[in-house]
């Protein structure tokens, strides 16, 4: 399903670390240890809205969102998942999957702009990536 000519928007590349590719989407970890936060970016050129995808790809994206959300919830035991495709700042279609806790810095408000991002320490980031890769690609 990958498309040639796909490239990640520079802002997404700057703010994330890649976990790998699902059949349609690249899975990225936002480099902010404040919130467990993943992105799915369909590997399609010039797509800014979910509605820009064909019907089969929209259904496939929903399957991948569910796969990633289930893995994040299992990994974090969060109270709530926030799932959104906004694109107000970065026009490339990307879907946020954020684990939320009643005790987090922004609860119950949206996470954007509440606190300055705290990048993961290298060892912590490597551990989080390894655990999430296992859950997303192998389940449980």
- Listed by start position, the domains of the chain span 10-138
Q: Hey, how many other C-beta atoms are within 10 angstroms of the C-beta on 53? A: 17
For a pLDDT cut of 90, what percent of the chain falls above it? 89
CA distance 139 to 132: 10
Domain 10-138 classification at class level: alpha beta
Give the tens place of pLDDT for each residue, 19-33. 999 999 999 999 999
Does the pTM surpass 0.85? The reply is yes
Using pLDDT thresholds of 50, 70 and 90, give the confidence band for residue 139: confident
Name the packing angle between helices 55-76 and 122-138 (round to 10°). 120
The CA-atom distances, in angstroms, between 105 and each of 73, 74, 96 are 18, 21, 18
């Amino acid at each position: 399903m990958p498309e040639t000519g796909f490239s990640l928007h520079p802002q997404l590349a700057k703010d994330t670390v890649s976990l790998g590719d699902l059949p349609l989407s690249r899975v990225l970890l936002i480099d902010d240890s404040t919130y467990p936060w993943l992105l799915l970016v369909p590997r399609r050129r010039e797509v800014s809205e979910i509605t820009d995808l064909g019907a089969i790809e929209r259904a496939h994206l929903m399957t991948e969102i569910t796969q990633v959300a289930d893995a994040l919830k299992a990994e974090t035991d969060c109270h709530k998942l926030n799932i959104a495709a906004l694109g107000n700042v970065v026009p490339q279609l990307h879907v946020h999957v954020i684990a939320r806790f009643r005790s987090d810095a922004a609860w119950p408000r949206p996470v954007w702009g509440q606190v300055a991002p705290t990048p993961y320490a290298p060892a912590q980031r490597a551990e989080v990536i390894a655990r999430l890769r296992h859950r997303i690609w192998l389940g449980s």
